[in-house]
Structure 1
Amino acid sequence: MTTFVAWVGADSRGMTSMYFASDSRLSWDKDKKNAWDCGQKVYASSVAPEIFGFTGYAVIPQSIISKACQLVDKGLRSPNDEKSIEGRADWLRILVLREAEKHPKIKDEDFTIFYGVRIGHGMPGRSSFHLNTYAWDSKLKQLAHACIPMPVCSAVLKISGTGSDALGEMKKIWDASDQGNTSRTMFSAFCDSLRNGKDPYSGGEPQLVGIYREGPAKIFGVVTENGPSFQGQLDTPLSHLAKIEWRDPLFQRVDACGNVLKKAQRHARPAGV
């Protein structure tokens, strides 16, 4: 049970970034009391520009994505698969299918895995962003793989999970403001939706990962009114010393205490939002 969103940022020269955001709640049944708000739902390679996320049944995706990150980080993926987005996407498709088919039938539910990749690096023409999805149908025992078309401007690519409707409603409010249709407002709409609590199966702190034009993927810390968190964990030990990027619900670059960095661009909440 999840609220998940994938989006891309762009400037006048083309795509600049891709982000995945999710809540931290894992639920075991329809009783919202049986929930755990510390579940990791988005992942990032430490050496490659590749990010992962999921919605639906948690056990299989968490296992698959953890293994995928280790295989990438340890250089254990085939060199042939490394050469193209098609090779990398098919590599993950085979991994997902193999793991899902082996799962016991006694407990098997639908899930979707999201896979974001940057090929190349630098300015558009030298780099490109891609999003692939893998949806497992537990009844049919079938995996549907899709490559999501990329827009030419900042835009949401996918909204998924039980909190989709609540997030969609909040996104409309932000889109109607004078800051609408920007990368930062997509994260702000997500945080507002999560804080409002309209979806009882989504909760905990926001989680955020992303890819820029250069370098490997990043895991961001997020500072809300509850304090700093990292991958859903509040009260992160020595968070003020962590050499990671921090964002607040307005997507501003902040330190672990929530103070906007001196050289960062500041954003005010639009009137009426």
Structure 2
Amino acid sequence: MTLIVAWIGVDDKKTGKEVSSLYIASDSRYSIGQRDKFDYGIKVFGSSKYPEIFGFCGDVLFPSIVLGQIIPQIDSGILLNENDNCEQKTNKIFNFIKTSLENYPSSFLGGSFTILHGTRFEKIFKLFKISYFKNKGLNMEEIPLGNISTKTYSDGSGAKEFDENWSKIWDNHRHNDYRTSRAVYHCLTKTLDEIKDPYTGGLSQIIGLYRIKNSRLFGVVNNNNKYIYGKLSSEDINSESIEWRNENFERFDPDTLKIIEGAQRQPLQEATP
């Protein structure tokens, strides 16, 4: 099933509080039953040409196939137009998923699934959920983002453990990271370190949107090793082409494996009693 989480970062502006960033993160496990697993599965996706990010949980095959079709068509300028607002974009994506599902063999579906779509038009961020259940069919709804830095959505078989950690520790006004975007990532990494759900595992993977440019894939630094989509990056890769974060959500230099000079250190502490 997996664990998927979305959250926002909010800044104080002269005109009031404004969403400045939107993130979707997941674990990296694909599983068949409780014994067979693959901890390098891609569960978050982003467009390099448009401000669109995606993540999924539940059935693996259909969401990974359909998102693998959607992203290239977005990047090629086929599916979306630059003047489409958030609602127009997600409606086009929903209809693409709907027609694909109508032609998909029902025997291939392993169960229900949820696809998150994060998008931005001008300075407006929005998050939509497209869900399929056998008895309800395919449905879409908008997930309210609010105006504080916090978790906006969690789902999957690992969500129960995540939500328990979130409510007990990080969603507590006594915590140093209360109502910060980094608190959600702290909670995610702690949950994955201690997860009991056999269908959730591997390292985190993150995709994000800021006020400018398009999707941003983040590399993960864990125990002085670099990972992308849960896989150890031992190959000779161009590490500087993406942004890297450690378990505290601090910006890391991928060459020195040290916090970037000038980057704010983030405390990783639990709430006081």
Is the partner of 1:40 in helix, strand or coil?
Answer: coil
Q: Following TM superposition, where does structure 1 have runs of at least 4 consecutive aligned residues deviating by more than 6 angstroms?
A: none
Give the corresponding residue for 1:87.
88
Alpha carbons 2:7, 2:151 under 8 Å: kept: yes
Give the corresponding residue for 1:124.
none
Give the corresponding residue for 1:146.
141
Alpha carbons 1:93, 1:134 under 8 Å: kept: yes
Alpha carbons 2:186, 2:268 under 8 Å: kept: no
Cα distance in 2, alignment partners of residues 49 and 16 from structure 1:
13
Is the partner of 2:107 in helix, strand or coil?
Answer: coil
What is the CA-CA distance between 1:82 and the residue it aligns to?
4.6
What is the CA-CA distance between 1:28 and the residue it aligns to?
1.3
What is the CA-CA distance between 1:26 and the residue it aligns to?
0.6
Alignment CA distance shift 1:271-1:168 (3 Å) = closer
2:269 counterpart of 1:270: yes
Alpha carbons 1:248, 1:258 under 8 Å: kept: no
What is the CA-CA distance between 1:53 and the residue it aligns to?
0.5
Cα distance in 1, alignment partners of residues 237 and 206 from structure 2:
16
2:227 counterpart of 1:206: no
Cα distance in 1, alignment partners of residues 103 and 270 from structure 2:
52
The correspondence of residues 96-111 of structure 1 with structure 2, limited to 5 A, is: 96-108=97-109, 109-111=111-113
Alpha carbons 1:114, 1:131 under 8 Å: kept: yes
TM-score after normalising by structure 1 = 0.91
Alignment CA distance shift 1:258-1:83 (3 Å) = same
Identity over aligned pairs, percent: 31
Among candidates 150, 170, 175, match of residue 174 of structure 1: 170
What is the aligned length? 263
Unaligned runs of 5+ in 1: 121-126
Give the corresponding residue for 2:2.
2
Is the partner of 1:251 in helix, strand or coil?
Answer: coil
What is the CA-CA distance between 1:78 and the residue it aligns to?
4.8
Cα distance in 2, alignment partners of residues 104 and 78 from structure 1:
27
Alpha carbons 1:64, 1:96 under 8 Å: kept: yes
Cα distance in 2, alignment partners of residues 132 and 61 from structure 1:
15
Is the partner of 1:17 in helix, strand or coil?
Answer: strand
Alpha carbons 2:218, 2:242 under 8 Å: kept: yes
CA RMSD of aligned residues (A): 1.7
Per-residue Cα deviation, 1:67-121 (whole angstroms, up to 9, x for no partner): 1110111111253x8522121111011111111122212232210100000111x
Is the partner of 1:12 in helix, strand or coil?
Answer: strand
Read off the aligned partner of 2:76 and give its amino acid letter: K
Give the corresponding residue for 1:57.
59
